[in-house]
Structures are given as C-alpha cells and as structure tokens.
Amino acid sequence: MGIDNIKLKIGKLPSGENNLITDVKGIKVGHKTLDNGKIKTGVTAIIPHSDNIFKEKLMCSSYVINGFGKSIGLVQIDELGTLETPIILTNTLSVGTCSTALIKYMLKENEDIGVTTGTVNPVVCECNDGYLNDIRGLYVKEEDVFEAIESAKSEFQEGNVGAGTGMSCYHLKGGIGSASRIIKLDDKNYTIGSLVLSNFGLKEDLIVDGIKVGEKILERENEELEKGSIIIILATDIPLNERQLKRIAKRVPIGLARTGSHIGNGSGDIVIAFSTANRIKHYETSDIVNIKVLNENIIDKVFRGVIECVEESVISSMLHSNETIGAFEHKRESLKKYIDYIVK
C-alpha cells in the first residue's frame, strides 16, 4: 500500500494545506541528496522567510532535550532571541563544512557583515548517519549547501532525502518528516508546523498513533542502548516572543514519547522554534519597538498543536522513507513494509 493510500490521522487539530512546515507562509525547504553506494547523506535547508533574514531577523529560541549533539548557533539564539540565517541540517561530521558554506552564503548576500556591522550567527544541526553512510568519507561539500538553499520551495520531499538520506528511526529507515496544524485565535486561522530529522529509537518501542507496532514487528530483540538523535524545527505565524517559543519547544518531548521515544543517554535531541509574526530589524532606528505576543492564557492550544505536529512528523519521516542498503551492507527496512500493522 502506498503512502498516499494510508488513512492515518494523528491528533484532533486540522492540518494545513500540504501538512508541511511550509504551510507557514514564507517558509521554504530545500534538499541536496547524496545517495550512491556507501554514500548515504546530504543537506537540508530551512529558509525562514523570503526576504533578507539577516536584516529582518525572526524571534527564536532553542531547547536542548538531551545534549549529545554538535550543533552550531544555539548559544546566540538563546542569548539574543533571534534567528538571522537559514537553518542547515546535515550529518555529524559535516557541521563545520556546512557552517563555512552558510557563512559564505550570508557574506555574499550581505556585504556589510564583518565590515560596517558585526559578524553572523550560522545555525547548523546534525544527526549521526554513520550506520548507513560512510561518514568518515566527508562527502558533503560547500556547494551542496548552496544547492540545498537555492532549491528550497514550499512543496518538498520527505523521507530519505537531503540530510535524512542515511538516517535511521526505531531501527527502520528514518529521515525528513513534516506536519502542520491550524489553530484559531481571535477568529483567525494561524499555522504551526514542524520538520524533523529523525535518527533515534529502538524498534520494539515504536508506537504509531497509539498502536504498539514495534512489538508486533518482533517479539524481543537483544537489549541495545539508545544512541540516536533527532532535530526538531518548529515554525509558526502566531506572534510568540522568545520565552513563549521556548515554552512550546519544551512540549516536543511529549510528541516524541507518543512515538515510543525514551530519550536515551547518547541521544542528541535539539529543538529550534521560531515565529514569522514579528520582524526584528538589524538596522532599527527606533529606541522602542512594538511587538505582538500571544495571550498566554490560551497557549495550551499551541502546546497541543506542537505535540501533534511532532508526533506526526516522526511517523511521516518513516512512512515516506524507502528500504535502504548503505555502507558495510547495513540495511534499514521501511515502515511501509509493516503497513498492515498500522492501518486500523
């Protein structure tokens, strides 16, 4: 049964038009996939809006669920509360290359950086694709980052593409997954979306929409340690300040737990959350600026949207992925093989 024929509805809230993070107007996502024999890796770029992100920053926050990770840019995000570059996802050993490429991209777009104004805070996150990818080969190059950025659009592929090419989830094939939810506030529809790079979990723990699929796939497997990771990007057009963004980021573990995650000791689980509702000008001339924020008494609606988005994004990353044989003849089956366990 193909993915388009799977009638899977996670949660209660309605999804956006494409059920992707890009349902938040202005956001685009692009991939560069490197898939050739033992090479199973790539780059995924999230473009926060269509204008100059350095000159018109967005309010942003990050949250480290478990810190076994090698991300770049989180310190400044949490200190200043803003996002000023695209977000790049890749494999663990390619973070440096991607950071350099992103800096070069920003320098090209902004001749003032490092000359008449300060430097720039590149944001790069990673998961370890070393089970399927020959990660020591360092195959990701700077031009792959440029191509991922330039290819970004509102409709994009999920599954084993871009940074998700070599990722594993619940010992099945993982990768890029996304979802969105619509939330009504003051009689107006707003959107919250998520994108995940899934690379975590033990097969026996997998839960799909409340069904213990992992237990159905195998009776028991040898005890293993949870060494995986997941990067979660949250985006919304709801006006949230950086503190409120951190609050919604803290609800991500609930969505992960609904898929069976226990967030292991060796897991790198990082959330970046941003809102497109307020623009923070780099060259602001006013001493006082006006910023809209959500009435916190109704933030529970947003919490629910986050939880549903993250849960569905993880499952979507698996249902959109194909069986993969990579480096060292390592193999990951697709969750689609076990679709009969999911369809109620």
Active site positions, annotated: 229, 267, 269
According to DSSP H, which parts of the chain are helical? 74-80, 95-109, 142-150, 213-217, 242-249, 252-257, 300-319
DSSP reduced 3-state for 43: strand
Q: How many CA atoms lie within 13 A of 311 on its CB side?
A: 27
Using only the alpha carbons of the chain, give its radius of gyration. Answer: 19
Q: Is 38 exposed, middle or buried (0-12, 13-18, 19+ CB in 10 A)?
A: middle
In the chain, what's the furthest Cα-to-Cα distance? 64
Distance CA 33, CA 187 (A): 41
Is 227:264 a contact under the CB 8 Å cutoff? Answer: yes
List Cα–Cα distances, 9 to 47, 155, 205, 256, 308, in angstroms.
27, 20, 20, 16, 10
> Cα 299 to chain center, whole Å?
22
Tokens of 117: 């104004």
CA torsion angle 281 285 288 292 (round to 10): -30
Distance CA 243, CA 191 (A): 19
Is 75:61 a contact under the CB 8 Å cutoff? Answer: no
Q: Which strands sit side by side in the sheet containing 82-83, from one edge to the other? A: 82-83, 56-67, 268-281, 229-236, 188-199, 176-185
